[in-house]
Amino acid sequence: MSCTDPTLQLPDHLLSSIFCYLNFRDLVHVRLVSKRWHRNTPSYCAFNFDESLFFENTRLVGPLPTQEAHNKFSDSILDSLETSKSRLIKAEKRIVHVKFDYICTSTCLTVFHLTRCALNEQIFNGEGKFDSLQEVKLDGVRLSGEALAKFISKCPNIRELSLVNCEREWGCYGKPMFIVLPKLDSLKKLYVKHTSGNNSISKVEVIAPSLQVFHFLCSDVCKDAVYMDIRACRMLREFHLNCVRFLYWS
Amino acid sequence: MASSTTGEKKILTLKGGDNEEFILEESLVLQSELLKNMVKEERVSSIPLPSIKSKTLVKIIEYLKKHAELTPSNKEEFKNFEKEFVNVVLEELLDITVAVNYLKINGLLEFCCQAVADRIKDKSVEAVRKIFRIESDFTPEEESEFRKETPEAFEGDLDDTTN
């Protein structure tokens, strides 16, 4: 008894649940322990950062990220992506879940989820492209200016895009928001959900010739009517619309 | 079978793997989704749990009692209790985790998974194998490739087998 693997009594799903509590570095080790552990290592891992490190408390305007902490944070992401690149390439699925306001450049990311943060359009002014990205989800993300269009235009191979409760940058309280996407040849699925937030969506413009599925859910936070132009989406076969006021459809 | 009652409180008997019986208030076991369904749907008063060792059951019942007494004022105390709760040898921790998973006690399951994960983190591959007494089933070629590719995974923390 004492020389058998005590984890044999754990069902596979339980082993996976346990591994979910580990960070990337540990998961790399876990994958190498045995074939069974390898099989049950989640291909998804969360980068865990102590967000409090990045804030200094200023009573007036709430917490603000400090520049130094922010740099440290971005260095650490780039560093871990760099060292993990070869391993990510070998993983079956390549997913990185980053819960902070930093877009990382990687040539092997296919799925990118960004939760509760802000995207500044300036970070997309550079040359870099996210050629490998296929699935992008922005959940509760503040988008400044043209950030959304700029970001998406750098993802030429994107197949699935979800925008959940995204808002405009600070200072645009109550102002309407546009979802205007550049031409996307590979986009197959688009989900827009807007059930909370300070900005209502007033314009949606999508040029995606191969778009097949489009769900648009917009609850009463949207006070304005939505102008929608999806004329270019000729392959659309599934269109869910749940919206209080709807102005124009052509 | 109807549940026996003493005053207002319903009483329930749990039977561990070695037939040891544990008598407790029904309200306590409602924290377990599995037992809750059994009690609600079948109105049983005695539930056999042959796959769970009595020793494990004792621990779990201890947790259920503590958890039921949890109030905002003794939060700190409960946290300390939780910490002590998982401070057991690995086999016992895994027994508890498996049983809690079976009984579907969600909060405790998360806590147990975290506790097991804590014993894996910051360890080298070899140290993890030693702690969990796992023999590598990779081929020597695969094994040497891993070592070449990620030497850091095989370095350090080798002696940390205290848990």
Bigger pLDDT: B39 vs A219: B39
Q: Are B96 and B112 in contact (CB under 8 A)?
A: yes
- Residue B72: its pLDDT value, please? 87
- Among A1-5, A34-38, B53-57, whose mean pLDDT is lowest? A1-5
Q: What does the pLDDT read at residue B5?
A: 46
pLDDT at B91: 93
Cβ–Cβ below 8 Å for A4 and B133? yes
Is residue A56 very low, low, confident or very high in pLDDT (cuts 50, 70, 90)? very low
Give the model's confidence band at A55: pLDDT under 50 very low, under 70 low, under 90 confident, else very high.
very low
- pLDDT tens column, B99-139: 999 999 988 999 999 999 999 998 999 999 999 999 999 99
Contacts of A156 (CB under 8 A, 6+ apart): A129, A131, A184, A185, A186
Q: What is the pLDDT of residue A168?
A: 84
Find the closest chain B residue to A36 by CA distance. Answer: B137
Encoded amino acid at B90, one letter: L
Model pLDDT, residue A105: 46
Nearest-angstrom CA–CA distance, A78 and A67: 16
Which residue, A227, A233, A223, is CA-closest to A197?
Answer: A223
Question: A103 pLDDT band (50/70/90 cuts)?
Answer: very low
- The ipTM, to two decimals, is 0.85
pLDDT in the model for residue B45: 84
What is the arithmetic mean of pLDDT over A197-219? 87
By CA distance, what is B144's nearest residue in A? A32
For A21-134, where are the E strands, in sequence order? 44-46, 55-56, 64-65, 95-98, 111-119
Which residue in the set A20, A28, A35 is minimally distant from B153, CB to CB? A28
Among A115-124, A160-169, A229-238, the minimum mean pLDDT is found in A115-124
Torsion of CA A205, A208, A213, A218, to 10 degrees: -10
Give residue for tokens 């750098």: A154
Q: Give residue A114's pLDDT.
A: 78
pLDDT of residue A104: 47
Most confident of A40-44, A150-154, A165-169, B57-61: B57-61
d(CA B115, CA B3): 36
The rounded distance, in Å, linking the Cα atoms of B74 and B94 is: 27
Describe the crossing of helices B90-103 and B54-68 by its angle, rounded to 10 degrees: 70
Q: Which of A29-43, A68-82, A178-192 has the lowest mean pLDDT?
A: A68-82
- pTM confidence score: 0.54
In angstroms, the CA A134 to CA A114 distance is: 14
What separation in angstroms does the CA of A132 have from each of A92, A139, A154, B51?
A: 15, 20, 10, 48
Q: Give the chain B residue nearest A20 (alpha carbons).
A: B117
Say yes or no for a CB contact (<8 Å) between A33 and B91: no
What would the mean pLDDT of A230-236 be, rounded to a whole number?
88
pLDDT level of residue A220 (50, 70, 90 thresholds):
low
Rounded average pLDDT over B57-78: 92
CB A10 to CB B129 under 8 A? no
- The CB-side HSE value for A229 (13 A sphere, CA atoms) comes to 10
pLDDT of A62 over the 60 cut: no
Give the pair of three-digit tokens for residue B131: 């702690």
- Please judge whether A22 and B121 are an interchain contact, meaning their C-beta atoms are less than 8 angstroms apart: yes
Among A101-105, A135-139, A158-162, the range with the most confident prediction by mean pLDDT is: A158-162
Query: Which pLDDT band, with edges at 50, 70 and 90, does A99 fall under?
Result: very low
Range from A82-86, A175-179, A203-207 carrying the lowest mean pLDDT: A82-86
Does B111 touch chain A if contact means CB atoms closer than 8 Å? no
Chain A residues 33-92 with a CB less than 8 Å from chain B: 33-37, 86-87
Least CB–CB distance from B101: residue in A14, A21, A34 = A14
Chain B residue closest to A32 (CA)? B125
How far off is chain B from A91, nearest CA to CA, in Å? Answer: 14
Chain B contact set for A85 (CB, 8 A): none
Domains of chain B: 11-120 (3.30.710.10), 125-154 (no CATH)
Mean pLDDT, all residues of chain B: 86
